[in-house]
Structure formats: structure tokens, C-alpha cells
Amino acid sequence: MSKLTHIDDAGNAVMVDVSAKDVTERVATAKASVLMKHETLALIQNHGVKKGDVLSVAQLAGIMGAKKTPDLIPLCHPLNLSSVTVELTCDATRNVVDITATCKLAGRTGVEMEALTAVSVAALTVYDMCKAVDRAMRITDIRLVHKSGGKSGTYEA
């Protein structure tokens, strides 16, 4: 059985020592969805939400979230991200806003948590901006869909 990397032999939480790892280009992509009423999605698409442009604000929030990951998730390394992209698309057939975030860097540890944080914060921002008209929205399917770089190689969901 594999040993958890963030727990030492005495059961204490530890930040993993990555100093001996090679610096490689690392990329991670995560996705999430926000399900809502048809009317809510129409408001977003028509810029009718009183708090402002939901997609633009959520995009910016996702980028900021990726940069704040080590402040939010214990034991995450502070990373010098070279790129963060967050894309939000509306799908009227499913009444959903789909969110995709990709984070990149050249470093000794991966950027999976940054990509996952980015989509989570973007989804929470969509919820926050629209909750006055649709409290039944659901944030779903937060997941890693791609990871590359480092010793463990490439992962595709």
C-alpha cells in the first residue's frame, strides 16, 4: 500500500520536501459545472444579473483563486505560476455554466491543486452572483482532467 506523502511516520502533517525533484514544465487542467434554472442562464448570457458580468468576474476570481491556493489549502507549496487560464462557457441545452482552468509552471511540484482551486472559486463566484435569483444552483463535477510533467508523467481523465 502506498504511503501518504503529507503524513510522517509519527502521523504528523508535513509539507513534502521537493528540493531534490527536477524542474520540469508542469501543466494541469481542471473542470467544474454550475447547474441552474434556464432563466438564470439566460440572465447571465444577456448580462441581466444585477451584480454585473458574471462570466468576466468569475473568470478573474478563478485566476485569483489559483494564485491564492497555498493560502487556502494546507501544505500546498507556494508556486510561481507562469500561466493561469480560466474559461467559462454557457450550455443552454444543459442549463449549465462549464468552467475549465489550466495552470502552468516550470517547477519541482505540480499545479493540480491550483487548477482545481481556480474552477472551484470561479464556480463559487457564479453562485454568489446569481444566488438572489436561483438558490437551487448546484456546483458539480469538480475534477482533474489533465496533468503533465514531473516523474509521474501524464494523466488524462
Global confidence as pTM? 0.94
Q: Write the single-letter amino acid at 148.
A: S
Q: What pLDDT score does 6 carry?
A: 81
pLDDT digits (tens, 9 = 90+) for 90-138: 999 999 999 999 999 999 999 999 999 999 999 999 999 999 999 999 9
CB within 8 Å of 144: residues ≥ 6 apart:
28, 29, 30, 112, 115, 116, 155, 157
CB atoms within 10 A of CB 16: 13
Q: What's the pLDDT band for 10 if we cut at 50, 70, 90?
A: confident
Per residue in 77-95, pLDDT (tens digit) is 999 999 999 999 999 999 9
Cα distance between residue 129 and residue 106, in whole Å: 34
Catalytic residues: 128
Pick the closest to residue 88 from 139, 135, 48 (CA basis): 139
Per-residue pLDDT, averaged over 47-74, amounts to 96
